[in-house]
Amino acid sequence: MILIVGGAGYIGSHVNKVLNEKGYDTLILDNFSYGHQELVQWGEVVEGDLGDGELLDRIFQEYPITGVMHFAAFTYVGESVTHPAKYYHNNTSNTLNLLRSMIKNKVRNFIFSSTCAVYGFPEKIPLTEDHPLDPINPYGRSKLMVEQMLHDFSQAYDFNYISLRYFNAAGCDPEIETGEWHEPETHLIPLILDAARGIRDKVSIFGTDYPTPDGTCIRDYIHVLDLASAHIKAMEYLEKNNKSQIFNLGNGQGFSVREVIECCRKVTGKNIQAVDEDRRPGDPPVLLGSSKKAKELLDWKVEWVELEDIITSAWKWHEKLYQELKTR
């Protein structure tokens, strides 16, 4: 049985769905601070907090957990700058709690949701796993500290991990059983889709003077189901090889903010208003990853190659979510 910490969130709920489809038993641990009950449709659930060491020990003693996937983190970069204590407490210190309990209860396989934010400003594109690590905000540092702990734990204890450095997760389950539901929403694609539905009157373009072809930031958008398949391959790799690894997970293609907005206009058929604004602090001009290592060692491949398909899957989910929220 796999313990999915934060399984009621965007990425965790998609991984939970795919694990169940593949025949795994899952147990979700979530405190529902940002996660949603509605997104937990597979496996068993325990409501609780990672700060609760007794609860963690109880879970490992009562359930036949063979591996842990850890998605429970705060991810708002701007908030991490104004409230760093919240990020170091939840993302770093609570993860230490979880790792301690795993060691104590002899659970050795751990998959960690890391981020391309651990790199900071890229010196070379595409980013590879050996690029220097110099995060530029507390969010990235809170995740890098966990990666450092993981390394030390794997040296000292009978413990193996895979750290997955995600680029920009996007898209939703095409069967629209789960999807992206952040409150507040700060991510580009859902904000554009809100503008398409008329929930917002416009979308802001943060920075138009970057050194990129159209002046807006370039990001690497990877479908959440491609992330999910990588998690399953990573867990299988740990079970087979007992070897810790770090992998980038990206699509390998870059799209500018303007290109993403244009693609959303095409997919939705709506006239989405976009306004140029100042840069958002802490945004590198280009984040683009090489996932060569994951493809080679995990035999993983990106199925959702086209941005248009990724956005179409997100649009379907956002329409459903909006209809449901409207009728509440």
Chain residues binding ligand UDP by CB under 6 A are 77, 168, 186-188, 191, 203-206, 217, 219, 257, 280, 283
d(CA 308, CA 266): 8
Name the residue nearer to ligand UDP (CB basis): 159 or 247. 247
Is 139 one of the annotated active-site residues of the chain?
A: yes
Q: How far is the CB of 135 from ligand UDP (least distance, A)?
A: 13
Burial of 230 (0-12, 13-18, 19+ CB in 10 A): buried
Are 222 and 170 in contact, with CB atoms under 8 Å apart? yes
Secondary structure in 3-state letters for the chain: CEEEECCCCHHHHHHHHHHHHCCCCEEEEECCCCCCHHHCCCCEEEECCCCCHHHHHHHHHHCCCCEEEECCCCCCHHHHHHCHHHHHHHHHHHHHHHHHHHHHCCCCEEEEEEEHHHCCCCCCCCECCCCCCCCCCHHHHHHHHHHHHHHHHHHHCCCEEEEEEECEEECCCCCCCCCCCCCCCCCHHHHHHHHHHCCCCCEEEECCCCCCCCCCCEECEEEHHHHHHHHHHHHHHHHHHCCCEEEEECCCCCEEHHHHHHHHHHHHCCCCCEEEECCCCCCCCECCECCHHHHHHHCCCCCCCCHHHHHHHHHHHHHHHHHHHHCC
Q: How far is the CB of 66 from ligand UDP (least distance, A)?
A: 31
Name the residue nearer to ligand UDP (CB basis): 30 or 180. 180
Q: How far is the CB of 72 from ligand UDP (least distance, A)?
A: 18
Name the residue nearer to ligand UDP (CB basis): 187 or 292. 187
Name the residue nearer to ligand UDP (CB basis): 180 or 232. 180
Q: How far is the CB of 38 from ligand UDP (least distance, A)?
A: 23
Q: Nearest residue to ligand UDP, using CB? A: 217
Q: How far is the CB of 197 from ligand UDP (least distance, A)?
A: 15
Q: How far is the CB of 270 from ligand UDP (least distance, A)?
A: 16
Q: Which of 139, 210, 221, 237 is catalytic?
A: 139
- Angle between the 307-326 and 257-268 helix axes, to the nearest 10 degrees? 60
Name the residue nearer to ligand UDP (CB basis): 3 or 217. 217
Name the residue nearer to ligand UDP (CB basis): 96 or 136. 136
Residues labelled as active-site residues: 139
